[in-house]
């Protein structure tokens, strides 16, 4: 039996259409509500092109309203900006540029400092502040704030030569700096002795510090969480059948009718925080049914056949979401079950629960 459903057909159409429009989707901006703080300490709310930067941005694009002109700001043009769970401050700082991959590390502990004007990512701001500057290959630099001065937490990976052999070493000056900086909390000293020069470790240290001094930070970078998004779908299923047995003529010969029926589904998408929330795992329970009829006449006898089914499918989907213009958005809505997702991977399973018959066939011959 050949069973062709409407939903997979539409999904294929959607994929073909989306490939043709992918170059347009890439050019779209991810405009997200946020604000900038100008040099007069005025807070201006608007929309920021948010990219969840792995590398600190060199500039930020901002507009006060959807139809306003886009303005471009560099680190010295504004004091700070915030969008989503990210907060950046424009500063002039020293950057330690020594390579840190084992194959490229240098000999000796001397720092290679380069002064630059950058947007520092704020991890904590308040009584004690922690800032981050990330470059390619996870080469991180961290900073603290002493009064009005931004101070680099010093770290370097290097090697020394001894008796013709090379030995890898680490310059961990940052631990001593932090011990002085956070000296009003003695309970974190043990944690300070082993803290690694990594965002996760240093954020954990500052979280413990603020718990210790019972003081709330003015800003703390929140960890991205998985977002749950329920949805209800409704549409049509179109089903046709075809038999090839070679012996049952009353099944092989008839041209069966096409069955058009109502289809409905309820599901929940688990949207991941990374990559601008473009990736999601979708779960969905879908109900559909069909009833097709055929008729075969042979030697004065008429055989009527009816074949029907009622199904509940459990679908597991990997989704990729685009930010599209309104016109494209409506086109996708007309062509697919979901308004802004592609379903490149679908796993179907059939369930039987609460007395529901998953697959029911009725064959009537008269």
pLDDT digits (tens, 9 = 90+) for 337-353: 333 332 333 333 333 22
Can you tell me which residue has the tokens 């039996």? 1
The verdict on pTM exceeding 0.75 is: no
Mean per-residue pLDDT over the chain, rounded: 77
pLDDT of amino acid 288: 75
Q: Is the pLDDT of residue 116 over 90?
A: yes
- Taking every pair of Cα atoms in the chain, the longest distance, rounded to a whole number of angstroms, is 105
CA–CA gap between residue 331 and residue 339 (Å, rounded):
9
Binned at pLDDT 50, 70 and 90, residue 223 comes out as confident
- Judge contact between 333 and 341, C-beta under 8 A: no
d(CA 189, CA 194): 9
Has residue 62 got a pLDDT over 80? yes
Q: How confident is the model at residue 246 (pLDDT cuts 50, 70, 90)?
A: low
Residue 178 has pLDDT above 50, yes or no: yes
What are the Cα distances from residue 82, in Å, to 16, 38, 61, 219? 37, 12, 12, 11
Angle at CA of residue 334, ends 331 and 339, nearest 5°? 75
Per-residue pLDDT averaged across 180-196, rounded? 93
Percentage of residues in the chain having pLDDT higher than 70: 73
- pLDDT-derived band at 265, boundaries 50, 70, 90: confident
Of the segments 187-196, 291-300, 324-333, which one has the largest average pLDDT value? 187-196
Max mean pLDDT range (149-163, 226-240, 243-257, 316-330): 149-163
pLDDT over threshold 70, residue 234: yes
Query: What value does the mean pLDDT take over residues 294-312?
Result: 75
State the DSSP code for 164.
T
Residue range 40-61: average pLDDT?
90
Residue-level pLDDT at 321: 66
C-alpha dihedral over 159, 161, 163, 167, to 10 degrees?
Answer: 0
147 DSSP 8-state letter: T
d(CA 321, CA 326): 15
Element (H, E) at 231: strand 227-239
The pLDDT assigned to 312 comes to 83
At residue 313, does pLDDT exceed 50? yes
| Whole-number pLDDT of residue 285 | 87
Dihedral, 153, 53, 113, 74 alpha carbons, nearest 10: -110
Greater pLDDT, 297 or 146: 146
Between the CA of residue 66 and those of 33, 69, 290, what are the distances in Å? 10, 9, 47
CA distance 335 to 12: 10
CA dihedral 104, 107, 108, 113 (to 10 degrees): -40
pLDDT given for residue 205 in this prediction:
96
- 45 compared with 318, residue with greater pLDDT: 45
Tokens at 41, concatenated: 């300490």
Pair of tokens at residue 247: 């012996």
Span 31-47, average pLDDT: 94
- Residue with the bigger pLDDT between 218 and 336: it is 218
């Amino acid at each position: 039996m050949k069973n062709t459903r409407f939903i997979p057909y539409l999904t294929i159409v959607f994929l073909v259409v989306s490939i043709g429009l992918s170059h347009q989707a890439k050019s779209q901006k991810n405009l997200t509500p946020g604000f900038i703080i100008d040099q007069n300490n005025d807070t201006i709310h608007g929309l920021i092109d948010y990219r969840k930067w792995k590398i600190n941005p060199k500039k930020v694009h901002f507009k006060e309203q959807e139809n306003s002109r886009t303005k471009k700001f560099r680190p010295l043009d504004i004091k700070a900006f915030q969008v989503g769970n990210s907060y950046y401050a424009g500063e002039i700082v020293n950057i330690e540029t020594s390579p840190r991959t084992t194959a490229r590390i240098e000999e000796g502990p001397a720092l290679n400092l380069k002064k630059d004007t950058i947007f520092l990512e704020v991890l904590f701001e308040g009584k004690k502040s922690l800032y981050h500057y990330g470059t390619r290959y996870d080469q991180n630099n961290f900073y603290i704030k002493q009064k009005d001065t931004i101070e680099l937490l010093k770290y370097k990976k290097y090697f020394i030569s001894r008796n013709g052999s090379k030995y890898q070493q680490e310059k961990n000056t940052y631990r001593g700096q932090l011990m002085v900086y956070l000296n009003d909390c003695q309970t974190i000293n043990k944690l300070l002795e082993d803290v690694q020069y990594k965002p996760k470790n240093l954020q954990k240290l500052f979280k413990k510090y603020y718990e210790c001094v019972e003081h709330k930070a003015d800003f703390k970078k929140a960890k991205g969480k998985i977002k749950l998004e329920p949805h209800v779908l409704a549409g049509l299923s179109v089903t046709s059948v075809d038999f090839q047995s070679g012996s049952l003529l009353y099944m092989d010969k008839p041209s069966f009718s096409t069955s058009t029926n109502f289809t409905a589904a309820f599901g929940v998408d688990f949207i991941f925080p990374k990559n601008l929330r473009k990736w999601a795992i979708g779960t969905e329970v879908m109900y559909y049914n069909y009833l097709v009829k055929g008729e075969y006449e042979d030697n004065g006898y008429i055989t009527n056949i009816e074949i029907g089914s009622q199904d509940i499918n459990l679908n597991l989907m990997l989704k990729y979401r685009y930010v599209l213009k309104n016109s494209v958005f409506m086109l996708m809505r007309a062509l697919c079950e979901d308004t802004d997702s592609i379903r490149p991977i679908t796993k179907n399973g059939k369930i039987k629960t609460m007395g529901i018959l998953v697959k029911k066939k009725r064959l009537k011959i008269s």
